[in-house]
Amino acid sequence: MERIKIKYLNNDIIRLKYIGGKSDWIDLRSAERVVMKAGEYKLIHLGVAMQLPEGYEAHIVPRSSTFKNYGIIQTNHLGVVDCKFCGTNDWWHMPVYAIKDTIIEMNDRICQFRIEKNQPAIDFEEVEELFAEDRGGFGSTGKK
C-alpha cells in the first residue's frame, strides 16, 4: 500500500478516505463556499496539499454528478498534479466555469482523483507503413 503525506487547509475540511471495494477514485471537496454566476470562472480551493510518491501523478476529474448538481464544468477537463507539486503551500484547486448561477457549499464533493504511475520513457520510431488493421479513420469503431 502506498502512503501519501497530506496537509489540510484547516480543521473544517472533511478528511479524505479511501473506500476499498467501491471505487479506487477518492472524492475531493470544496474548501470554501463558492457563489458563481453563469459565465464566471473560478479556481475552487480543494483544501489539500499532498506529497505524492516519486514516479506518480494525480488525475483530477469532476464527479459524475458535479455538472447536474452545480452546473459547473472543469475547464482543463482533467487536472494533472505531478509529484514535484508537493510543497506545504502547493494547494490543489479545481478550475471551473459556471454554466448557470450556482452555490457550492464548503465540503461539497465536487471532484475526484486517483494516482497513476508516470508514463515510461518512449522512443518514437518513424516508419513508412503501419501493419495493423485499418479501422476506417477518425471516429470510426471499425468497418461494418
Q: Any idea which residues carry the catalytic annotation?
A: 82
DSSP state of 94: E
How many C-beta neighbours within 10 Å does residue 60 have? 21
Q: In 3D, which of 93, 111, 112 has the Cα closest to residue 18?
A: 112
| Among the listed residues 86, 28, 90, the one whose alpha carbon sits nearest the alpha carbon of residue 62 | 28
Rounded CA-CA distance 11/117 in Å is: 30
* DSSP per-residue codes, 18-84: --TTT-S-EEEE-SS-EEE-TT-EEEEE-SEEEEPPTTEEEEEEE-TTHHHHH-EEETTSSEEEETT
